[in-house]
Chain A
Amino acid sequence: MSERYIEITSEEINFEKLYDFCNENHFGAVNVFFGVTRNFNNNKKVLFLEYEAYEEMSKKIINQIIDEMMNKWDIGKVAISHRFGRVNIGKISMILVISSKHRKNSISATDYFIDRLKEIVPIWKKEFYEDGENWLSSTPG
């Protein structure tokens, strides 16, 4: 499956690696989505987040979602990296890169991927506040 790269990592995400993977001369569009951790949620100041992943299953489900996308849209290559463990505020928690010949396909596929990620990929996040912590359930997420 050379058209896709999937990574669940505790390290800072290397954007260039993902971009280089997807960028080929015959694709006119490379659409990039950065998920960045916010400092406020539900009117509470968030200090940092922690992600937990069922790593092997997450990769399988992401593969399944990419299959779904490739059936729906004419897209080229897909690279996704998602963090687990502690992620500080303002840091990147996920990057999704999709290339395509025409921009609309990769843009639509990006939106679809993120919706599906939040439905079925077994990754969870917990927010830490000054006065406690909370596992977030599903969207908004």
Chain B
Amino acid sequence: MNKWISVATAAALMVGLAACSDPGADAPTGEAVTWADPTAKLDGVKLTVWAAQNTNTVPEKVVAAFEQATGASVDVVTIPDPYEQGIQTKVATGDKPDLAFWQPTSSMLTAINAKTNLQPLDGAPWLSKLSPELRDITGILDGTRYAALITSPAVEGVYYNKEVFAANGITEAPKNFDEMVTAARSLKAKGVTPFFEMAADRWATQWWVQVQLADAAKNGLWDKINTKQETFSSPVVLDAIKKYKSLIDEGLFNADIKTAKFEDQGAALLAGEAAMVVQVNSFFGQLQAKADTATLDQKIGFFPVGPSGPVGTFIPDQSNALVAFRTGDAKREAAARQLLSYWMGPGYQEFVTDRNTISLQPAVANPPGVPKALLDVHATLPTAVGSMQVGAVANPDLYINLADMIAGTMTPEEVAKATQDQFAQLAKAAGAPGF
């Protein structure tokens, strides 16, 4: 018996030592990247694309066209929410697709260990076709491009109900944060709920703080936070959190702010039960599911907002970009790049038409049915500043802490501290200097 135990123990220790390396690690190779003709034959090649529950229909048409043109077979696999967590866990255990939807910000590219896991996309054939101001807006980590932007990146700003504004004598969209608050107070005085927030689903709470930081972000706030010159407890961030809380305490938000969810937000704005919602493009996607373009053009408007002027804060999300993984299989890696160049090349017109979305390439026209509000959002991009996710080296759960503040279990100071602590922890794990 004792012999068996010692044998087992020895074996366990051996395996234990051998296993003490990251199963997701593959040594990157340094060969030059080649880009095949988008429609070159790929018979017998099988590609896997990972998509989230809200993006799994996005590639349908373009993938079908690619399969027909090249003979490759492409499998779109839905990874259940929370999407990013699921992918990080899978990749950590060595499970990789050929392509995946992924938030192309530097913090999320760091989070998936882009340098090891992703194929560099420098010199991709479609880059020259993109609008120059959008080409380098995101998808780049330490000078290397890892993500292909396929749709117009999301912008944090204010969606408002035009009819509610008009009925209450507001003829012009507010131009900055203070004007927006003034408008809100006049709406409240007339018995209208000015803002609608959804603290039960939590994730949108961070937009309120981030839009207030637009000016600071322009002046390098996130670089300062990355280098510890500022923290989330610095007055600039803390004041934004306090301002958000004071506006809630003032009663400018919906009464059911603590229990309201994402779906409630869209329903309330469409029905005119609330005048304004600070949100991103996926919110408009929800509105599009509830109403047609004509209704939306008539009812819903968008204006960007920052402390000093109409500045949008852009935050590309998982639905805006694709990354190609290093799978170790050169043939499939090349095929994955080929699918991207097909998507952004010969297949792009059909893609934007099918998805009724804005084209990123001047040579490819916008489909006629794109709602006005989305065009307004897109128009803010050239002057927009990067969000926390774009500028900071790590992406802490600011939104969870803010939702806790709304629920009454945290003070603004505690929100700032908890966010900073987590930021430091993530930055340290990511190997950011100084943490």
Partners in one complex: no
Which residues in A have some Cβ–Cβ distance to B below 8 Å?
none
